[in-house]
Amino acid sequence: MIRSIDIVGDTRFPQKQLLDQFHLKTPNWLSWYRQDDRYSRQTLKGDLERLRDFYMNRGYANFQIRSTQVQISPDKKDIFITVALKQGPAAQLSGGIGYSAMYKLMLNASFADADFLGTGNRLAINLSGGAYEQTYSLSHTNPYATLDGLSLTEYLTYRHASQAIAQASALSMNSITTGVTFG
């Protein structure tokens, strides 16, 4: 029977949220039916893969599971699991450059930090532009917005566009979009 599952290391997420990724559980009132408090090497491998996916999906590209220890009590009735991890940096910076005969030189850059100022919140900034269109956007996501685990994202985008062919017209458009999403 599994007595404890401990996740140690550089964790930025609540222990409960990390343990929710596991199918293995410590004893609870449904364990007699689900038998989820029974150790299985295959189930632990799947749980570690889900934990890895959890971090990767939140921008931790250098996430590592440093070690996994499974200890058995002297009477061989209880099992204690300890997972040591290292998150690594959560920020990403990227950019690009392109050229086409119609749109001329096009540039883009983006910055995203999945743990902005150590809060666990995500901040993203995207800039892109060329001869006829420029877009600037900013978004902020709070992954812990509600007690039920819903995230809240606020975003703001500014876009300026002008005609793609100089002889076509004197079209010029500016737009601002803002919004809030729950997910």
Q: Is residue 141 exposed (0-12), middle (13-18) or buried (19+ Cβ within 10 Å)?
A: buried
In the chain, domain spans: 2-86, 91-182
Token pair for 145: 């917005």
Least confident of 26-30, 113-117, 147-151: 26-30
Which pLDDT belongs to residue 172? 84
* Predicted local distance difference test score (pLDDT) of residue 164: 59
Q: In what order do the strands lie in the sheet containing 104-113?
A: 91-100, 104-113, 122-129, 133-142, 152-162, 172-182
pLDDT at 176: 96
pLDDT for 61 equals 74
DSSP 17: H
pLDDT at 126: 96
CA distance 51 to 83: 10
CATH of 2-86, one of 3.10.20.310, 3.40.720.10, 3.40.630.190, 3.40.190.10: 3.10.20.310
What is the overall mean pLDDT for the chain?
Answer: 85
What confidence score (pLDDT) does residue 11 get? Answer: 67
